[in-house]
Amino acid sequence: MGSKHFLDTRSVKLLFLFFLVIVLVSGFLSAVFHTIESNRKLPPHTSVIHDRALRGAIVSRDGYTISRSNKTYEATVHARSIDPDKKDLFIRLFAIYSGMGEKEVRAAFVDKKGHPKKGFVTLSKTLDAATAIQLKHLAYQLRRMHVFRSFVNSRGIQTLYGLDILENGEEREFQLGDTLTPVLGYVRSRNLGRYRKIYGVKGLERRYEKYLNKSRDGLVRGMRDVIGTIIRTKSSIRVSRRDGYSLHLNIPLDLQKYVEATLDQMKEKTGAKEIIAAVMESRTGRILALASSERYDPSHITQEDIPKLNSKFTEYPYEPGSVIKPLTLAIALDHGKVTPETWFKTYNGGPFPISKYQKIHDDEPFDSLTATDIIVHSSNIGISQIAWRLTGTEFHNGLVAFGLGRKSGIDLSRELPGRIKPARLLARKPHEANQAYGYGMQATFAQLLKAHNVFNNDGVIVTPRIVDYLEDSQGHRFRLDPRRFPSHRIISTKTAHEMHRILQKVVREGTGVAAQYPGLDIGGKTGTAHIAAHGHYVKRYNSSFYGFANDDKGHRYEIGVLVIEASKYHKYFASQSAVPTFKAIVDDLVELGYLHPNLTPEQRAEMLAKEKKRREAARRIQQERTRRVKELLRQQREQMRRREQKTTPRPRTHTYKPSPRQAPRYQAPIPKRSPTPHEALPDMF
C-alpha cells in the first residue's frame, strides 16, 4: 500500500511538471508569434522605394554649371519613442550632426501653445544629401545606444520608431549668384503629395521647362526582410532614374562675366537706369553674351529685385530712333529707288515740313547730302525723302522682312512683338517720315539686333539662339529643331555690302567714331530717342548702338547696346554712352581671344601704350578709392572713440572746501605728488 501511494504521488508530480512545461512553451511561442505579428510592426510583404528624378542643369559653353537641382530631405521622429532620460542626449547629437542649434531642435518638440508634442515631430525639412547621410548614420548609432523605446500606440499595438530621414523634394541651386540673370530666370516650387517639385517661371528656366523636367522617377519593388531591406530576386522590379535634359548654352562664362562687368562700370559713368548688351555670331545667330546691368540672385529674390525680373531684351518695346535709318535706306536700295550716291537737298538742317502742322530738324546743317551721308550724319530730313520714294506697302513689307512688328524667335520665355504702322498709314507722308527715322513705332532689343545683323551677313537674316543643344542623363546630345531658328535672305548681297560700307563710314566719320578699333572691321549706327510719357515726349532718352566687329580670320560678330535713361549731363547721347560701351565690349572680345586685330608694329605699340595708360589710370582710381575708404574708417573710429569717452563715467572726487568763516587766515602749500594708479586710470583710456 505504501509503495503504491508513493508511485501515485510521484506520477502526479511528473504529470504536473509536464503540463507546466507545455504551458510555458506555449506561452513563449505565443509571445514570439505575437511579437512578430504585432510588436515588431513588420512592413508589408512587398515594398517600394522611390528614387525621384531631378530637374536638368543649365551649363555654359565652357562647361560651368550655372544652375542645377539637388535633393532635399526631412528628419522626423516620434516624440514618445525617445527615452525621456536620453532626450537631452538625442537633441545634443542631432544638433551636432545637422548643424542646427540646440534651441531650434528643442523648440521643434513644442507646439504653438507651448505644450509638448506627442506624435511625429519634423525636425528639419531642408537637409541636403551630405547631412542626410550623416543623420542616417546617427540614427543607427542611436538605436545601438537604446535612445529609442517601444510604446503602445492608439490602436493598442506595441510600436517602435526611430529617427527617419526621408526624401521630400528638390531645390534649385544657382552656383554663380546673379550671373546671366535675367536671361537665366528663376523657379518656384509646388507640392506633389509630400514631395516638392521645381518649375520654371521666367527666362530659360521657363522657356525649356518641358525639357528640363522631362524625367522619369526610379523605383525598386520587391519582397523585404524583417528590417525592411528589399530582397533582390527574379520577381523584384527595378526602374532606373532618368533626370531631365540639361541645357548647354552658346554663352561662354568668361565673356559673359566680362560684359557684365563692363555694363556695371558704364552704368556708373552714365547714371543710366539699366544697360543691356549682346554679342552674336553673325553667321549662325549664336548668342555669345546677353547681359544686363540689373541682375538678381535667383536663390534670394527680394522686394527690390521685382523690377529686374522681366527681361528687357524681349519685354521692353521702345521707340528706337535713328537706328531704323539704315533699314529704311536698305529697303529703298533693294527696290532700286535710290543709290548710295543719290543726292538729296537737306535745307541746312531745316525746319523741313513733313505735314501742314509738323516740321523736323537735323542736328547738323547741310544744304545737300548723298544717301550715304544721310546715314553718316543721321539726317532726319534726308531719310524722310528717301522713305517717300517707297510706297506704304513696300516700306511696311520691308520692315516686316527685317523682323519688326513680330517676335524675333529668340529662345526666352516671353517676347513682345513690338509695333509698326500698317501700310495704309505709311502711304501718308507724315507717318512714313516719322517711321523712317524710328518714331511712331516700337521695337525690342532682340528684334533690332536680328535686323542689323543682316548687314554683316550678306543680306541673310538669322534667328538669335541662346541654347546650343540638350543632353540627357546618359550623355546623349540632341540638337534643337532648325525650323525653330529659321534663316533666309531678305535683301540682295549687293545691298548688304553697300550698307556694310556705309556703316563703316559712320564709325570713321560720323556719330560712331568712338567705336573705332585699329586692325578690325567696325561699323554701326547710333540712335538717341525721346521717351514718351502720358501722351507726349519728355526729357528722358534711350540711346543705342547696333554694329559689327570682324577680323581677318573669319570671326564676325554683331554687337548691340541699349542704354536706358542715362541721367548724367550729355551722357544720354548715344555717342557718349552706347558707343563707348560697344568699344569696351570689343576690348573684351580682343582680350579674350574672340577677335584678332591685324595691327602694324606701330599700331600695336600705340595700343600697348594706351592699354598701359588705361591700367595706370584705373590703378590710380582704385588707390584713391582705397584711400577714401581708409580715411572714412579712420573718421568713424575717431567718432566712436570720442563717443565712448563722453559716455564712459569718470570716478567722482569729492573736494572739501571750507566756508570763508571756517577757512584759516594762513594755509601752508600742499606739496605736489604723483597720482595713484586709481586716479590715473581715467586718463589712460
At 113-142, the pLDDT tens digits run: 889 998 899 999 889 888 999 999 999 899
Q: Is the CB of residue 304 less than 8 Å from the CB of residue 527? A: no
CATH class of residue range 47-249:
alpha beta
Q: How confident is the model at residue 539 (pLDDT cuts 50, 70, 90)?
A: confident
In this structure, what are the phi and psi dihedrals at residue 22, rounded to the nearest 5 degrees?
Answer: -60, -45
Q: Tens digits of per-residue pLDDT, 180-234? A: 999 999 999 998 888 899 999 999 999 999 999 988 887 767 665 544 556 666 6
Identify the pLDDT of residue 31. 59
For residues 585 and 412, what is the distance between their CA atoms, to the nearest angstrom?
Answer: 23
Identify the pLDDT of residue 464. 97
CA distance between the termini of the chain: 115
Q: Is 487 helix (H, G, I), strand (E, B) or coil?
A: coil
b/e code 543-580 from CB counts within 10 Å (16+ = b): bbbbbbbbbeeebbbbbbbbbbebeeeebbbbbbbbbb
Distance, C-alpha 57 to centroid of its chain: 14
- Between 576 and 610, the more confident residue is 576
pTM attached to this predicted model: 0.78
Angular region, 557: left φ>0, alpha ψ -120 to 50, beta rest: beta
Lowest-pLDDT range, 250-254, 391-395, 422-426, 480-484?
480-484
Provide the sign of the torsion angle of the four alpha carbons 397, 398, 401, 405, taken in this order: negative
Q: How confident is the model at residue 155 (pLDDT cuts 50, 70, 90)?
A: confident
Q: How confident is the model at residue 484 (pLDDT cuts 50, 70, 90)?
A: confident
Q: Share the mean pLDDT of the chain.
A: 86
Q: Which fold has domain 265-283+309-595?
A: Beta-lactamase (3.40.710)
Question: Is pLDDT of 533 > 70?
Answer: yes
Question: Is pLDDT of 25 > 80?
Answer: no
How is the chain split into domains, by residue range? 47-249, 265-283+309-595, 598-628
Q: Tens digits of per-residue pLDDT, 488-517? A: 999 999 999 999 999 999 999 999 999 999
Q: Which amino acid is at 296?
A: Y
